[in-house]
Chain A
């Protein structure tokens, strides 16, 4: 590792880099999985991360299931299943009500 810039840096996906301890990591996984599930449900998808299977489980309502290593893979798979990406700037996420 270069002591000036610290590269290569923390291992793992960038969305997990903020966790310092295994406890943080697990807590973040659970919290994230809950939010992810809430976001994906209106699209007819469910997400689950129970901390047992290494990865995020993404299912369609018809039971098609995939296990994905990180969030980037989740969004790519969701786009494949839906035919369009889940866009946080979609009006559905912008309404004030």
Chain B
């Protein structure tokens, strides 16, 4: 750990961005190359199953806040976790080596602005923590579509001090420019940078006269219903390849409503990490074995337009070994 900042307070970076925009991927790379130095990472997941904490093992300390988004239902958990960190740190001598930086990775459903307001409004935390910056990761592939339809996506952009465009290798320069002018219109103060799998990429200068496309007005009460997380337990009767068959069909038919799917699936090759964003499946990865594998086989679905029970029913009918579809 490095020595204290002059004011003796810790620096908090809030890392936000929509579901599947690439927050964890970016942070994982930053931890690997050490851009933050020694850092405590707090990961918040809206669903009750944590996946991201496995990927962020390079942090010097890690807190997982699962089962509630920290800008609304899980706000108190976040405040408590931060107070605990402050408490632990205050017990150490200020001339020693103690924790200087915290990175909070929000859930994809969180409004970073609300989190910043909650932390700054807390009478204890304000004496211990300075919010250094809010970094918002924007999916270059799906960002424009999200901004057109999701009020939350726009609020996230508005809260940013720095915008990082991810997956820029997957889009053509015209769509990238369109997205960038839109982002500039939504949040003119935030500089934009780009990263592919966390590694920084050069971005050409944006023409100053480029016109942003007009975004349709959105109201907060969405007629399509709220995006909610749900979990699906894959039991032993479902073979991994059958599950993949079902999921591939589901993504094809319902990809636009199924904003995010993630989880670890036990397979013959090992623990297969599955992550999707709308219809795009991220390149599969086999995770190393670890002590606590109790969450393996529990897949998190975040989306709208379906009933949680239907997923289980459909999977049974679609992919169960013994049953037949009439």
B83 interfacial by beta-carbon distance below 8 Å:
no
Chain B residues with CB under 8 Å of A17's CB are 267, 269, 272, 284, 286
**Interface members, chain B 220-247 (any A CB < 8 Å):** 239-242, 244-247
Contact between chains at A20 and B253 (CB < 8 Å): no
A86 to B198, CA, bound (A): 36
Contact between chains at A14 and B29 (CB < 8 Å): no
A interface residues with partner B (beta carbon < 8 Å): 2, 4-10, 14-21, 24, 28-29, 31-32, 35-36, 38-39, 41-42, 71-72, 75-76, 79, 85-89, 92-96
Contact between chains at A7 and B197 (CB < 8 Å): yes
Cross-chain pairs A/B with CB under 8 angstroms, 6 sampled: A8-B283, A15-B247, A31-B239, A35-B318, A92-B325, A93-B325
Contact between chains at B314 and A15 (CB < 8 Å): no
Contact between chains at B285 and A9 (CB < 8 Å): yes
Within the complex, what minimum Cβ distance (angstroms) separates A96 from chain B? 7
A86-B253 contact in complex given A8-B283, A38-B324, A93-B325, C-beta closer than 8 Å: yes
CB-nearest residue of chain A relative to B323?
Answer: A38
Chain A residues with CB under 8 Å of B310's CB are 89, 94
Contact between chains at B269 and A24 (CB < 8 Å): yes
**Among candidates B239, B249, B285, B286, residue contacting A86 with C-beta atoms closer than 8 Å:** B249
Contact between chains at A38 and B325 (CB < 8 Å): yes
B188 interfacial by beta-carbon distance below 8 Å:
no
* B: interface residue count bin: 35 or more
Chain A residues with CB under 8 Å of B28's CB are 4-5
A89-B314 contact in complex given A19-B267, A38-B324, C-beta closer than 8 Å: yes
A57 to B216, CA, bound (A): 43
Chain A residues with CB under 8 Å of B325's CB are 38-39, 41-42, 92-93
**Among candidates B246, B274, B286, residue contacting A10 with C-beta atoms closer than 8 Å:** B286
**Interface members, chain B 263-286 (any A CB < 8 Å):** 265, 267-270, 272, 274, 281, 283-286
A35 to B324, CA, bound (A): 9
Chain B residues with CB under 8 Å of A87's CB are 249, 253-254
Contact between chains at B242 and A18 (CB < 8 Å): no
B252 interfacial by beta-carbon distance below 8 Å:
yes
CB-nearest residue of chain B relative to A38?
Answer: B325
Contact between chains at A15 and B244 (CB < 8 Å): yes
| B137-175 contact mask (Cβ, 8 Å, vs A): 1 or 0 | 000000000000000000000000000000000000000
Within the complex, what minimum Cβ distance (angstroms) separates B274 from chain A? 7
A71 to B325, CA, bound (A): 19
A85 to B249, CA, bound (A): 8
CB-nearest residue of chain A relative to B320?
Answer: A35
A70 to B25, CA, bound (A): 26
B250 interfacial by beta-carbon distance below 8 Å:
yes
CB-nearest residue of chain A relative to B247?
Answer: A15
Contact between chains at A39 and B318 (CB < 8 Å): yes
Within the complex, what minimum Cβ distance (angstroms) separates A48 from chain B? 15
B69 interfacial by beta-carbon distance below 8 Å:
no
| B80-115 contact mask (Cβ, 8 Å, vs A): 1 or 0 | 000000000000000000000000000000000000
CB-nearest residue of chain B relative to A40?
Answer: B325
Chain A residues with CB under 8 Å of B246's CB are 88
